[in-house]
Amino acid sequence: MKKQIGVIGGGAAGMMAAITAAKEGAQVTILERNDRVGKKILQTGNGKCNLGNRALSVECYHGGDLEWIRDVLEHFDTEDTIRFFQSIGLMVKEKNGYLYPVCEQAAAVLDVLRYELQALGVEIQYQCKITKVEKLASGKLQVSDGEKTWQFDAAIVTCGGKAAPATGSDGSGFKIAKKMGHTCIPSVPALVQLRCQETDLLKGIAGVRADSEIRVFCDGGEICRERGELQLTDYGISGIPIFQLSRRVNYLLRDRRNVTAQIDFLPDLTQESYEELQAGRKLLQGDRTAEEFFTGMLHKKLTAALLKMAGIRLATPMKEIPEEKIHAYYNLCRNLKLHITESNPYENAQVSAGGVDVREIKPTMESKICPGVYFAGEILDVDGRCGGYNLQWAWSSGYLAGYHAALA
């Protein structure tokens, strides 16, 4: 008889696990809480689905055990991802190392996965909100949603974390894991926008995008930094560099620490070239007003806001402005400080940090606490940077879970 495997959750990791297990000869059933599988895939990569990244490295991930994460990624890497999708009919292309379907439609990725599930005879049962997985005296695993029960030889838990709860990732997987005796690292939103205290300033510069370096400080010391296109909003800061910083910031905020962001809007300037810039522009001063003199350095809305903060009126002739106010403006261009109060909620986050402690999981993705139960995807305490790394984690961990569950 074929080995009976239940996959709890039909997201990216769940579908990969189901396809892999079925290819190894198992009879697989996906128990999905929604009315369709793969809802979250449709939102990835702005609807284009960034499948992975050729610059795959464990340094692009966060979690409780980086060596454990490295081992998983080495067993199913970017090239394996490309081969897998090509084998099920998806044409893949590369943009600066980022992988996308040639058609640039996330729906195509979901379609080929669904077609493969169907071709392999994987059964999908919808509207199943699983609440419990337990080991029976017979050795079977019983899975329950409170009303129905299923029995399997192995179960793979892939029901996500807490990000984008409307797609089904509401943290219920953590409850299932805890009932089995697993430890769950506290969760926070990751790859998400940050909210700041200075809303009066931000309302005047909302919509501005600027290449910037953002440094995060806590208790007077620098914690981390990122460089990229910053997006200013009426409530705070956004853009890829902010997403990359948000995980670290949210854990600091969770511990009630005081966190500030220091923004350099002229990140390419060395201190020497910065001083030369000030000296050179001074020669242009003439009879120009402050507005005229500083035109072209930064976005017009940003220039106006920073001049106001420096105590300089737009219409004031430059020759009437005290030197210390001019230096104050230049300093704001390189050191605008914003106090971070919180992030946007899980509804806006691309992923959640935290989850099932990977130190309780074997390299095969099997639980050390409950034999026969495997974990994959965002439910684990693993999250990556922007750029396809989180979907790569879903493919890598899902493959290993499906493969080992089928062959154990």
- Tell me how far apart the alpha carbons of residues 273 and 169 are, in angstroms, rounded to a whole number: 49
Query: Angle CA(348)–CA(349)–CA(351) in degrees, nearest 5?
Result: 155
Q: Taking the model in full, what pTM does it have?
A: 0.94
Closest CA to 245 of 286, 177, 188, 321: 188
For residue 309 the two structure tokens come to: 């903060």
Q: Which of 296, 317, 343 is the last residue of a domain?
A: 343
Please report, as a single letter, which amino acid is at residue 113: L
Asked if 57 and 192 count as a contact pair (C-beta separation under 8 A), the reply is no
Domain count, the chain: 2
Asked if 346 and 266 count as a contact pair (C-beta separation under 8 A), the reply is no
Q: Please, which residues bridge with residue 229 across strands?
A: 211
Q: Are residues 270 and 364 in the same domain?
A: no
Q: Are residues 235 and 330 in the same domain?
A: yes
pLDDT in tens, the chain (408 residues): 899 999 999 999 999 999 999 999 999 999 999 999 999 999 888 889 999 999 999 999 999 899 999 999 999 999 999 999 999 999 999 999 999 999 999 999 999 999 999 999 999 999 999 999 999 999 999 999 989 999 999 999 999 999 999 988 899 999 999 999 999 999 999 999 999 999 999 999 999 999 999 999 998 899 999 999 999 999 999 999 999 999 999 999 999 999 999 999 999 988 787 777 767 666 666 678 999 888 888 999 999 999 999 999 999 988 888 889 988 998 999 999 999 999 999 999 999 999 999 999 999 999 999 999 999 999 999 999 999 999 999 999 999 999 999 999
CATH of the domain at 134: 3.50.50.60
Could you tell me the CA-to-CA distances from 48 to 45, 51, 100, 104, 241 in Å, in that order?
Answer: 5, 9, 7, 5, 20
Q: Are residues 48 and 197 in the same domain?
A: no
Q: Does some domain include residue 350?
A: no
Q: Which residues form the domain of 119?
A: 4-188+355-407
- Tell me how far apart the alpha carbons of residues 28 and 3 are, in angstroms, rounded to a whole number: 8
Q: Which of 299, 316, 343 is the last residue of a domain?
A: 343
> What is the total residue count of the chain?
408
Q: Are residues 182 and 216 in the same domain?
A: no
How remote is the C-alpha of 80 from its chain's centroid?
A: 22
